[in-house]
Amino acid sequence: MQESKLLNSLIHRGSDFLNCQYPIICGAMTWVSEPKLVAAVCNSGCFASLAGGNAPTDILKKQIEETRTLTDKPFAVNPITIAPSYREHLAAIKDLGLQYVVFAGSFPKEKEIAIAKESGAKVMCFASTLSIAERMIRFGADAIILEGSEAGGHIGHVSAMVLLQQVLFQVGEKIPVFIAGGIATGKMMAHALLMGASGVQLGTRFVMTEECNAHQKFKDAFIRADARDAISTPQYDSKLPVVAVRSLRNKGLQKFGELQLRLLQELNAGTIHREQAQEEVEKYWIGALRKAVVDGDIENGSLMAGQSVGLVNKVMSVQDMVDELLTDASAELECIKHRLNNI
């Protein structure tokens, strides 16, 4: 691994905020971002979020304790605002002694951010528009993650390229902003840092590591996939507002479409409330993701993947992956410096 002075000068803000050596975040992925992977990422000098998912609170507490036995480095816990267990997770935050909380799924309310901050944790929130970023900052968020629609799992509808211009350039001086969605290389990381990002978040690349516990069939599906294979789910009707999910096309994705249509029929018939329908949607994704990640059922399970899946073709250790990102980012910065000096 070869780091340059240029890279070190660009990463210090993000590193200081995350209290780690390199501001490279492993995003929270349900069934994937578990203690072993989180600890491996943190021990490599980077930062990771432990996925809250819909785990019972006692299980989440055990995972936090297990992670703490595997690393003495800071990490985040990721409550999902649209998960059925969210209220229980939120209530438990005050007793967990967390250093960082990353809200995901939807956008937390001001009182929910306050609960996390009162516990002593730093709070990170996602934003998909400038107005949402400003609202999260007003509510007390300590940092923002801009996740473009290229990402895997639950996503917004705006690409990272637009969010850079719409949000990063507007609030990047006020608060640390981390970029996510479609980032898979050190070169891209270098350019994100040059544009003012405090760091980057990756998900799909961390799936393709030896320390990731995902089933080999899940990883093999990633190796075979191209960027165009990772598609976003549609919303059929505003009566059932669902957060879009990006995953690889398979029978599981088709079944989700059928589920939406069935739930819309039940909503129209008045046999189910909207909140119940939305909960059914989340239960589906959590269960379908487990089928794929844990059981290796890549036909009926959910293969949540970002479009950067087209940029990964092998499994490597977390440390080797981090070394590659840093070496390539440093080389790209030196290349840019050389170009500018020759203008």
Task: Check which CATH number belongs to the domain holding 83 and give it.
Answer: 3.20.20.70
* 136: in domain: yes
3 state SS of 188: helix
Whether residue 234 sits in one domain with residue 210:
no
**Contact (CB, 8 A) for 137 and 175:** yes
Report the first-to-last Cα separation within the chain, whole angstroms.
29
State which residues form the domain around 252.
227-293
* Residue 229 to residue 312: CA distance in whole angstroms: 13
State residue 55's pLDDT score.
86
The reply to whether 249 and 314 lie within a common domain is no
Please give the pLDDT value at position 2.
57
Q: Is the domain of 231 the same as that of 205?
A: no
- Asked if 248 and 205 sit in the same domain, the reply is no
Are 179 and 231 contained in the same domain? no
pLDDT in tens, the chain (343 residues): 556 889 999 999 999 999 999 999 999 998 999 999 999 999 999 999 999 888 899 999 999 999 999 999 999 999 988 888 889 999 999 899 999 999 998 899 999 999 999 999 999 999 988 999 999 999 999 999 999 999 999 888 899 999 999 999 999 999 999 999 999 999 999 999 999 999 999 999 999 999 999 999 999 999 999 999 999 998 888 888 888 899 999 999 999 989 999 999 999 999 999 888 888 888 888 889 999 999 999 999 999 999 999 999 999 999 999 999 999 999 999 999 999 999 8
- Here the tokens at position 209 are 């590591």
| Beta-bridge mates of residue 100 | 76, 122
Is residue 303 assigned to a domain?
no
In this structure, is residue 187 part of a structural domain?
A: yes
DSSP per-residue codes, 212-233: --S-HHHHHHHHH--GGGEEEP
pTM: 0.94
Which is nearest to 10 in space by CA: 238, 186, 152, 134? 186
Predicted local distance difference test score (pLDDT) of residue 10? 96
Domain match, 196 and 101 both: yes
Same domain, 24 and 77: yes
User: How many domains are contained in the chain?
Assistant: 2
pLDDT given at position 63: 96
